[in-house]
Structure 1
């Protein structure tokens, strides 16, 4: 039996699910069950994100689902306004609100929309005293990150606008967005990056020290596969733990839909490996304390 809680107000709109004690004990056997934070892609509906969270709920994990609003992903970030930074702060505070801040924390991040928010989460975990004690064990990244791809960004925005919007308004919005992104994020980026680095460069320059697993596809029409491959190679050079898998034929954030069993297995195996690493590190720490 799962227990669910939803919070919807002017500040946050998220969904948190707690597993029953028996399922947690079966899978984690005395250790604290992980809290999996799923950060949805731009325009993602919660019913879609819930299909991914069920992978972890079945494993006895607590899950928190959140998708950043479209305006913060497509407008605030494009203009260099760091609205997602305060969103990241509120999201991490949810862990304290539900008293799960001492549990292992795992992220499942989707597309650039989720990765933009994840970038600020990483920064807070590194700089904010309150969050330094959180035990982040790993992150799985689906269809991200991408950089400087105006065509892909336009495809993503067009998909999120949906069919209800009038053709004229759609054309105006896409044209304005294309000009803005092209000017601020490509033409002027050598200058604007000193004021506001994009998510791709910010995380690549200072990757966190927990392991990452990047799931992508060379058939992705929104995020170029070479962007993901270059990113993984760059963070590895900096000593970060990063692995990747190319699904080859699946579309953007469509890997789970096209390969459900393989995708779910990769998620479960990576989470289990991250938990094992933490248990090993804690055992070593206990032995060091005993030896002193």
Structure 2
């Protein structure tokens, strides 16, 4: 089934019972939440969600509006926070809140939203029972990269708007972001940390797998590598893989089989870790009851 909320345009897909049973034999199938890059269409995201649907997972696809990613976040409005809350509430609406939860996050647009989801999972009692098992992060996160953000915005604006208007919008955006996010950031970070620092400083405990490329012109590969190293220093399991030649969020397009295989095997590993943790917990409870 595919649904769209009146306020939020998301899609949820349930697998057929046979596929789920074949892959997850008796365990609850994972729910995979895909957070799209700014400007991504649902038809783009559906190609990624099919990686997981074919493996018998429930998938939820959502992309935050462009203005929220580029304008609200740049000016420090936490509009994405209320979207993050609604996305987590969807799990309860469809009664899948006791299933294992897995994220697939694209570019800074998806990562900005992921940041608020992580914050809710850390601080909100309503979500303390949710069982997040892992996250794949594609082409993110990047930090303080005005040139990369401009390239992303330019690609989203596309050729349909006039060159003069495009130039004005890009110039305004560049000046604003440069002032707020770089020049004044030592001060503004106390009011509103950027997504990169917020997640790095208070990382989630579940394993992460970062898929990136040194050829990416939007996200600097060093940002991703430094981020992963900071997770590791804090004891969070984090891996990364460099596709080498693919451009921003094009790793699946250029290497479809390899990309899908990496996502599936990481999900399976996270599910096995979950089963191991469950067994340990049961043994602990049994030994306490004896």
CA distance in 2, matches of 1:225, 1:175: 25
**Deviation (angstroms), 1:208:** 0.4
- For 1:136, the equivalent position in structure 2 comes to 132
SS at match of 2:142: coil
Q: How big is the shift at 1:5?
A: 2.1
* Residue correspondences, number: 288
Gapped regions of structure 2 (runs ≥ 5): none
Q: In the TM superposition, what are the counterparts of 1:140-289 in structure 2 within 5 Å?
A: 140-289=136-285
> Could you give the per-residue CA deviations for residues 88-121 of structure 1, whole angstroms, max 9, x where no partner exists?
0000000011000000000000000000000000
For 2:159, what is the secondary structure of its paired residue?
Answer: coil
Asked whether 1:103 is paired with 2:99, we answer yes
Corresponding residue number in structure 2 for 1:126:
122
How many Å separate the matches in 2 of 1:288 and 1:264? 36
Question: Corresponding residue for 2:3?
Answer: 6
For residue 226 of structure 1, report the CA deviation from its aligned partner.
0.4
CA distance in 2 between counterparts of 1:262 and 1:170 reads 37
What is the rounded CA distance, in whole Å, between the counterparts of 1:180 and 1:32 in structure 2? 47
After TM superposition, which residue ranges in structure 1, 4 or more long, deviate above 2 angstroms?
A: none
2:29 corresponds to 1:33:
yes
Q: 1:291 — aligned with what?
A: 287
Q: Give per-residue Cα distances to partners, 1:2-25, cap 9 Å, x unaligned.
A: xx222142x211000000000000
Q: Aligned partners of 1:278 and 1:94: how far apart in 2?
A: 23
- RMSD, aligned α-carbons: 0.6
Aligned-partner Cα distance in 2 for 1:251–1:8: 33
Tell me how far apart the structure 1 counterparts of residues 285 and 21 of structure 2 sit (CA, whole Å).
Answer: 27
Separation (CA, whole Å) in 2 of partners of 1:101 and 1:234: 30
Structure 1 gap ranges (5+): none
TM-score (norm 1): 0.98
TM-score, normalising length from structure 2?
0.98
Take 2:226 and 2:280, find their aligned partners in 1: how far apart are those partners? Answer: 34
State the SS of the aligned residue for 1:33.
Answer: coil
Q: Shift in Å at residue 40 of structure 1?
A: 0.2
User: CA–CA distance in 2 between the matches of 1:196 and 1:173?
Assistant: 23
Return the alpha-carbon distance in structure 1 between the equivalents of residues 4 and 80 of structure 2.
18
- 1:12-31 equivalences under 5 Å are 12-31=8-27
Residue in structure 2 matched with residue 63 of structure 1 by the alignment: 59
